[in-house]
Structure 1
Amino acid sequence: MIKMKYILKNQETKRILFKEVSLLQFNDWLEFHKNPLTSIHWQSELESPDSECKKWYEKQFYRYENDLGGMNALIEKQSGKLIGYCGLLIQTVDEKKELEIGYSLLPKFWKKGLASEAALKCRDFAFENDLTDSIISIISLTNKPSEKVAIKNGMTIDKRTMYHGNEVNIFRISKSQWQKLNNL
């Protein structure tokens, strides 16, 4: 049986439905991998967009099957279209297991507050369900839009480190900080 405690199945926000990742979304998500703007903040050897998209899906299904969290498909309520993905991911940072909020949106949905809306929902879900005592976002030093999302999520820079060959800032919020933000 697949454990999926980190997946926001059937959750929603004002504008977004959270769904499981499905290969039916492949062609829509392929557009993300075709757009050079989506990889400018991350250093890695990239294959063809089709290969990168296939690897991305394989990684999500591996996460699902091994209780390592995973992305959720973000569906715009108004149009029913795929916006992108956001989720709770088990990551190893400096040899320590951490719960991360990860997010990637299709460029046509950038600068509309949707990444922040999805990330806030993931943060609240993690703390409301006692999944962790703190949660992070791993952000490239050059990715200012993602930094803004983390800050809106109540996170602050915890440290700078190397992650998969990239210099990154680790943004963090603790459960006690979240409780103060929400007057709990």
Structure 2
Amino acid sequence: MLITETPRLLLREFSLDDVGALAEILGNPKVMEFSTNGPCTEDDTRQFIDWCLDSYRDHGFGQWAIIDRLSGAVIGFCGLSHVELDGAQEIEIGYRLAPSAWGQGLASEAAGAALEYGFSHCGIETIIAIIATRHVVSAGVAEKVGFRIDTRTQYRGWDVCIYRKRHTVTTGAA
């Protein structure tokens, strides 16, 4: 199911047909350098997609496939998921892209679309990004779409910055 689109991307729900394409991306050590799980096998990727399918059913959102509009190829994922952080339940944005998609502003484009969907269609009030303190590229993506550092903490043994964005409603001038 199509979730949202941007000028260059489609965000849609994953299906098990995406395992091969996504496994190629998530199996790349460069892509997964800042993931607490490390590179994924094809079986890990199948479990990830199963988790996404459960999240769509249970919460109405999850991590979505990023599709390049021109080629139709899966180039990564971006979306929203439940996470426990320091004893609190939060909604987190996550994103991973194939190296061929790096440096083109596609992560920001996908993240902006996922945020808008979460705020406007899912009624989410606040979304966080959990970013390793050394991951300056991901921090740049988060800041570009309006996140600001909220706190620093440990997450799964990593030193991380917690970025937060709250839903803001704008009204027109009277």
Could you tell me how far 1:175 is from its partner in structure 2? 1.8
Could you tell me how far 1:62 is from its partner in structure 2? 3.0
Does the 8 Å contact 1:68/1:89 carry over to 2? no
Aligned pair partner of 1:24 in 2, 17, 24: 17
Give the secondary-structure state (helix, strand or coil) at the position aligned to 1:131.
Answer: coil
2:103 pairs with 1:111: yes
CA–CA distance in structure 2, aligned partners of residues 89 and 31 of structure 1: 22
Could you tell me how far 1:13 is from its partner in structure 2? 0.7
Q: Percent of pairs identical after alignment? A: 32
Change in Cα spacing, 1:174 to 1:33, as seen in structure 2 (3 Å) is: closer
Does the 8 Å contact 1:71/1:85 carry over to 2? yes
Change in Cα spacing, 1:74 to 1:58, as seen in structure 2 (3 Å) is: same
Aligned pair partner of 1:78 in 53, 70, 80: 70
Amino acid in structure 1 at the alignment position of 2:25 = F
Does the 8 Å contact 2:8/2:70 carry over to 1? yes
CA–CA distance in structure 1, aligned partners of residues 85 and 117 of structure 2: 22
With structure 2 as the length reference, what TM-score do the two structures score?
Answer: 0.87
Q: Equivalent residues in 2 for 1:18-167 (5 A)?
A: 18-44=11-37, 49-67=41-59, 69-129=61-121, 131-167=123-159
Unaligned runs of 5+ in 2: none
CA–CA distance in structure 1, aligned partners of residues 172 and 164 of structure 2: 19
With structure 1 as the length reference, what TM-score do the two structures score?
Answer: 0.83
CA–CA distance in structure 1, aligned partners of residues 33 and 79 of structure 2: 21
Could you tell me how far 1:70 is from its partner in structure 2? 1.2
Could you tell me how far 1:72 is from its partner in structure 2? 0.9
Does the 8 Å contact 1:116/1:152 carry over to 2? yes
Does the 8 Å contact 1:141/1:169 carry over to 2? yes
Does the 8 Å contact 1:138/1:168 carry over to 2? yes
Give the secondary-structure state (helix, strand or coil) at the position aligned to 2:6.
Answer: coil
Count of residue pairs the alignment pairs up: 173
Could you tell me how far 1:26 is from its partner in structure 2? 1.1
